Amino acid sequence: MSKLLVVIGITGTQGSSVADAFLAAKNWRVRGVTRNPSKPAAQEWASRGVEIVSGNMDDVESLVNAFAGAQAIFAMTDYWYPIRDPAVRANATERGISADQLCAELETQRGKNMALAAASPAVQRTLERYVWSSLGDVSRLSGGKFTHVWHFDSKAAVEQYIREDPEIGKAGLTAKASFIHVGLYTDNWRRSGSEIQKDPVTGGYWHVTFDDGRTKLPFVWARRDTGPLVQKLVEDVQPGARLLAVSQFADYREFMAVWAQTLGQKLAGEDGIKRISEEEFRNMLPPVEDIRDHLMSTWLFFVNFGYDGGDPKIIYPKDIGAEHLMTSLEDYIKQEDWSSLLR
């Protein structure tokens, strides 16, 4: 008899990857939870045999219903979704806090709501594994130097809640939970103009940054590689793991070298790096002061402490026998559609 995996955010990058991996396994059924089951992306999953249900992250009881009968749950939140909502910004202004801080509060509460639902007796009757998509506790890992990397700290707060809250532990969820920290998306070039730019003078390409381009980062093809790692956590790894989802470690000089060689392009600058000042980099970010502060703090943390902040409890795909499931940068670049960039 097949088991049931419930996927939160099935129409997003991570959730889609998880659904793909488990659909390919004949011993699993997949149920997707989404805000709007009628939207085309959700209906496309329904056409592939996924059961699509509605779930409200602000309503624990609706999540209990969505989780009912599951043997495994993949839970995640999208920090950036509410920050685009004018009502969220208006609420933040009324409270005298930044929209970033409010989004962190929302994400933390919604993550806790999912944990509360998963810890309910109705869900615990069948649940065997719970995987939370988390990130590092930057405020702690940086010794208080960076306290505005909201989208890391909010996910970390949920992880701490699942690991340490007495009631969650007593209910049985803590003993069934694992945590995946997803690395830097290889396709961030679609979202950020500084990732890969064309030099109008030489026609070569470079990555724009305020550091020297030698910071090692855990690149991950999240749409492809998240799912196989979650499947390993569910099927083969004892609960409690904190796994960094990384397809390949590289710095941006290495990334640009592989990119240029694979696509037959030439590099500009110094090994494909255009170095600018921190102020210039900050001015390239979205023209909203709290978002600029947030994103600048994020990159400064990476440069000063590394993506995972040197967390000694982090494990890697090689530690769970999953390294061979990951996609190299070269293979990602070969399979990506670069037509919007190479014009």
Q: Which residues contact 268 (CB under 8 A, 6 or more apart)?
A: 198, 199, 201, 202, 203, 204, 205, 206, 274
Q: Looking at the domain assignment, is residue 341 inside a domain?
A: no
Q: Looking at the domain assignment, is residue 227 inside a domain?
A: yes
Q: Looking at the domain assignment, is residue 343 inside a domain?
A: no
d(CA 93, CA 95): 5
Q: Cα angle at 306 between 212 and 73, to 5 degrees? A: 135
Q: Output the 3-class SS for 6-47.
A: EEECCCCHHHHHHHHHHHCCCCEEEEEEECCCCCHHHHHHHH
d(CA 305, CA 133): 21
CATH number of the domain at 177, please.
Answer: 3.40.50.720
Residue range of the domain that includes 213: 3-335
Q: How many domains in the chain?
A: 1
Contact 11/41 with Cβ under 8 angstroms? Answer: yes
Q: Among residues 133, 160, 147, 159, which one has the least CA distance to residue 100?
A: 147
For the chain, give percent helix, strand, coil, nearest 5.
45, 15, 35
Q: Looking at the domain assignment, is residue 215 inside a domain?
A: yes
d(CA 225, CA 200): 34
d(CA 80, CA 314): 25
Q: Looking at the domain assignment, is residue 340 inside a domain?
A: no
Global pTM value = 0.96
**CA-only gyration radius of the chain, Å:** 20
pLDDT tens, residue order, the chain (343 aa): 799 999 999 999 999 999 999 999 989 999 999 988 999 999 999 999 999 999 999 999 999 999 999 999 999 999 998 988 999 999 999 999 999 999 999 999 999 999 999 999 999 999 999 999 999 999 999 999 999 999 999 999 999 999 999 999 999 999 999 999 999 999 999 999 889 999 999 999 999 999 999 999 999 999 999 999 999 999 999 999 999 999 999 999 999 999 999 999 999 999 999 999 999 999 999 888 999 999 999 999 999 999 999 999 999 999 999 999 999 999 999 999 999 999 7
Q: Looking at the domain assignment, is residue 342 inside a domain?
A: no
